[in-house]
Each structure stands twice: as C-alpha cells, then as structure tokens.
Amino acid sequence: MEKATLGGGCFWCTEAIFKRLIGVDEVVSGYAGGIRENPSYEQVTTGATGHAEEVQVEFDPDQITYAKLIEIFFNLHDPTTLNRQGADEGTQYRSVIFYHNEIQRETAEKVRDEIADSGLYKDPIITEIVPFEAFYTAEEYHQNFYEMNKNQGYCSYVISPKIRKLLKEYSREVKEEYRKE
C-alpha cells in the first residue's frame, strides 16, 4: 500500500470522491502543511496555523496508480483558484499535493503539466506540489462526513455534483457498490 496526501478544498468533498475508487483502502480527513502540531478544526479555520484541509489516501498501486489519483484530483476540483473552492475561502482550502517521495513529485508535476496543456482550464493551474512533512487526523465528526450527512445542504449542493461527475467521467475506477448513486 502507498499513501497520497491531497488538498482540493473542503476535505469532506475530497474524502467522498477518493473513498469511491477501486484500489483505495482508506481515506482519512485531516490537516497538513502548517506549523501547529495536532491542530483543531477551529484553529485551522482561522488560517493562522498554515494547515490545509487534506485527505490522506491509502491505496494499492496495483489497482489504481498514483498518476490516476492525481488526474482525478485535478479533474474534480478547481486547481486554478488561489485559496478558494466555491464558497470556501482561505488558505485552508488551497489546492495542494504533498508528495511522499521523488517519484510522486515527478508524477504529480507530469500530470499537472498534461492537464494544463490539455486546455481543460482556461486559467493557469496554481496547485502547490510540496514535500510531505506531517498529517494530523481531523476530529471524528469530519470522518466519513458525506456518508453520514447526505441530505445536509452542503452535501447535496456541493459534494453530490462532484460525485456525479466522478461517476460520469471515471465510472471504470469507481467501486461497484457506488456505481448506482
């Protein structure tokens, strides 16, 4: 198993997407990229900790490649907006990839460049690609948030459309139990 640590806005959205993929064993919401050890959600939301909302994805590279994870990451959030995803604004919502080794760094840069050259986005991709240092697991009520709150407004209006896009564009990569959503 390998790990990928990714931030594409609210971790509720990112977690819901990646947990649906074949080859993904576990997705944990948390915080990375800041200066405070073991931060709380309340501390992270101030922007003062420097942390971003992240997910840590444990995956089997024989079933899904790191490159495919990064491709999906770039296609299911807006990597062109600085410190913002939709109405979520602040450095904690920045687009960032924390690579765990040089192969991941090279792969993330290659996929980023391919997406940039594809014309998918009219604005430049500003996603940070930086070395992984530490990951702090978010509070329990943030874990598996979408599954436990599907009818909540944010889930219905923000997360559900991303899942529909995943199902439309990456149906072969989605676990069987999620294909009928």
For residue 129, report the phi and psi dihedrals to the nearest 5 degrees: -125, 105
Cβ neighbors of 118 (< 8 A, separation 6 or more) are none
Specify the residue for token string 């062109």: 80
Helix, strand, or coil here: 60?
A: coil
159: tokens are: 């997360």
175: tokens are: 């676990």
For strand 52-59 and strand 84-85, is the pairing parallel, antiparallel, or unpaired?
Answer: unpaired
Catalytic annotation present for 13: no
Positive or negative torsion for Cα 7, 126, 68, 178: positive
Q: Which residue of the set 4, 10, 69, 129 is catalytic? A: 10
Active centre residues (catalytic): 10
